Each structure stands twice: as structure tokens, then as C-alpha cells.
Amino acid sequence: MGGRKIAFLGTGLMGAPMVRRLLAAGFAVTAWNRDRSKAEPLAADGAIVADTAAEAARGTSVLFTMLTNGGAVGEVLFGSGVADALEIGAVVIDNSSIPPATAREHSFKLAERGIRHIDAPVSGGVVGAEAGTLAIMVGGDADVIDSVRDVMAPLGRVTRVGPSGTGQLAKLGNQQIVAVTIGAVAEAMLLVEAGGGSREAFRNAIRGGFAESRILELHGQRMIERSFEPGGTARIQLKDLDMILATASGLSLQLPLTETVRAEFAEFVENGGGELDHSALLQHLEDKNARGKA
């Protein structure tokens, strides 16, 4: 499509289905992953698998990164020769979830080399990545975003939030709402059940009302079934909350609800719940109340 060559760095749980979406849309994609075995299956879908990140970047006009954290993104871009391998005018689309300040720093350092950058974290999980229905929150210059909308279109819905770093701020806001809402649903279920009601009937009763949400729909069901195999872990939720509060501090903001939920997740993780799904905060609150009655 349009002769564009695309590189995709980081083909884990989210990256691999995103690469498949791009290939299915007709784009030529070179994929790289630190653990090559995670990239190799994409060759069967038509991807070229590169041995190094710099090799993947060479000659590409659009480069995606979907990596673990800000340190990993910085190391790949500036420590492994990727920024030097990219041509002037290339666009880096960072889908990783990293601190807003780190995203702005990467954008500035790439701009010095004549490379354009947007921060574009995503929400929607593996299901959204496979279906091409991700919510893509983008920070950066509007003209740069517009120049790569066609490339991002197979992945999901693109919304420009503002200048560099604000895509990451929107992702933090998303995680903030998720954490606080999980806490609210869990506490409401405790309240109803403690008074003799059924938490399943309670959830059914309020579905479609003012408290309806994806959290009530999906995580509320998990809480009823006590099915806490992780989609998103409590440990990662705590990491996000720590990043949110650090960012808020830098902006001289007080976020009392977020601080309270963060304290509960911290206690839950400290007590061994880190690898459970974040909806298992219910379990922590149950234990806390049981201890209070003992």
C-alpha cells in the first residue's frame, strides 16, 4: 500500500496481532523482537523477521514500538542503533505505555535527528488488537498524526488528545478510571452481600442503569465467578497507579480517590496478590473485612 515499508519492534501479546492486522491490510512489515521466537511465527503471515532492531528500521518510513516500558523503548531507539538507521522524515509510532515525560524526551531526541514521533498507547487488550478495535490515544503534531492515519486505521480508532506526551496522559487516565471503578464495584458487592443480598442479582439489577460500565460487565462477572486468572495483573495496575500519582505530583495535583485505591492495591500486592487479575481486589477487601471482624 503506497509503497510504505513498516517496521514493528516488539511482537509480544499485543504486538503480534497488531502486526497481523497490518499485514492483512496489505502493508509490508518487518518485525523484530528481543526474543526472536516470538517474531518468527509472523513470517507465515508474510512478515520479514529481522535479526536486530536496527536492521528492521533500515529503509522504513514508519516504525512502531510496542515494548515493556520507557527504559526498553529508549534502549531500542537510542542504544541499539534504530534512530541512526531511520531515514530523515520517518515517523516513529510508540504504542508502548510509558511516562508522558519519557515520551516527550524521546520525541525531542528524535526531532534532533529529523525523525518525527508520536506517542500512541492503546487500550482494548489482546482481543482489541486481534479485532482491530483498539482505542489509540495519540499525542503529537496533528500533521504527523494525519500522515500515518492510514497505517493506524487497521489497528483501531485513532484520537489525537493533544501535543507530545498527552497520548500517554490519556492512557494513564484510562488506567485511573479502571482502578477506581474496580474498587467501587468490589465495595458495592461487599455491601449488598453483607446485608443479605446476592452479588449476582445485584449486578443484574443495575446493568443498563447509570452505573453500567465495561468494568461492571466484565470484571463484575469475574467477581461473581471468583475467576481471577490474570488479564491485567494487580502488579501492573499498581505500577500504573504509581506512574499516575508521580505524574500528578509533577503537575501539582492531588488525586485523593486514586491515592486511596493505590494504597489498597499496594497492600494487596504486598500480601501476595500481585499476579492475580486486578479485579481480585475484591478478594483483598473481603480479607480486610474478615480481619476487621475477627
Q: In this structure, what are the phi and psi dihedrals at residue 98, rounded to the nearest 5 degrees?
A: -135, 165
Q: Contact at 8 Å (CB) between 73 and 97?
A: no
Catalytic amino acids? Answer: 171
Nearest to 245 by CA among 258, 234, 260, 233: 258
Instruction: Give the span between the Cα atoms of 249 and 254, in whole angstroms.
Output: 7
Query: Which segments of the chain are extended strands (E)?
Result: 5-9, 28-32, 48-49, 62-65, 91-94, 116-119, 122-123, 134-139, 156-162
Instruction: Give the span between the Cα atoms of 63 and 82, in whole angstroms.
Output: 9
Q: How far is CA 97 from CA 34, 67, 121, 240, 248, in A?
A: 18, 8, 5, 9, 16
Instruction: Give the span between the Cα atoms of 190 and 36, in whole angstroms.
Output: 46
Q: Contact at 8 Å (CB) between 254 and 243?
A: no
Instruction: Give the span between the Cα atoms of 43 and 37, in whole angstroms.
Output: 11
